[in-house]
Structure 1
Amino acid sequence: MKKRKILIIGLMVVGALALLTGCIPGDGSHTVAKPAGFFSGIWHGWIAPISLVGGLFNKHLRVYEVNNTGWFYDLGFYAAVISGFGGISLFRNKKSKND
């Protein structure tokens, strides 16, 4: 029974990773005629660590989409990166050293 649970959880993790990498930067879904916009920037910022690891195995994948709308894509990308990796620590309660 325990092996079955581990197998099911493993399949769920693999499935979730496959869904997350569906719109990874550099996959060819964004062209000069259809550049990545603000919401694509947010998505690419959220999945930046996955894009980084994927880029090790596929030279065409990137962390940042080259074909983008400019400033609005950058705003979405950096907002997602900051909120996902650094913003959480700004709102955590810091425990005192006496605790």
Structure 2
Amino acid sequence: MKTIVQRVRSVALILTLALVLAACAAAGNTVRSVPNAHGHVAGFWLGLWQGAIAPITFLISLFSNHVNVYEVHNNGNWYNFGFVLGAGIFFGGGAFGKRRKKRR
């Protein structure tokens, strides 16, 4: 039989997990497919480039309010695919991340 303290801990853990999961929920992009101030909508190739330079851009964005890691004025899934692919290439993911076997 569970004690009151164990039940309170269980409820607190469940509520904390629910709050963490709710905080991670993605929101819709209201400016998707809307051109930016220069009249451009970011596509696959810009997503690929921005994904590749994301670590450097992140460091710069810590010290500047004029630099963003992710372009919100994008065309949707193609930009997202390019961004993830570019970030994966930079970090050596995918086929290039495979370890080579050492010869003995």
Q: TM-score range by the shorter chain?
A: 0.5 to 0.7
Segments of structure 1 that go 5 or more residues without pairing to the other structure are 1-29
User: Equivalent residue for 2:97?
Assistant: 89
User: Equivalent residue for 2:13?
Assistant: none
Q: Which consecutive segments of 4 or more residues in structure 1 shift more than 3 A?
A: none
User: Equivalent residue for 2:63?
Assistant: 57
State how far apart, in whole Å, the 2-side matches of 1:52 and 1:39 are: 19
1:10-25 equivalence runs, <5 A: none
The amino acid that maps onto 2:71 is E
Percentage identity across paired residues of the two chains = 42
User: Equivalent residue for 1:40?
Assistant: 46
Q: From the superposition, tell whether residues 94 and 64 of structure 1 become closer, same or farther in structure 2 (CA, over 3 Å).
A: farther
Cα deviations by residue, 1:20-45 (Å, 9 ceiling, x for unpaired): xxxxxxxxxx7164111110000001
Picking from 86, 89, 96, the partner of 1:80 is 86
The structure with the larger Rg is 2
State how far apart, in whole Å, the 1-side matches of 2:88 and 2:52 are: 9
TM-score (norm 2): 0.56
Cα deviations by residue, 1:14-71 (Å, 9 ceiling, x for unpaired): xxxxxxxxxxxxxxxx716411111000000110011011101102311111111111
Greater fraction of residues in helix:
1
Aligned length: 67
TM-score (norm 1): 0.58
Segments of structure 2 that go 5 or more residues without pairing to the other structure are 1-34
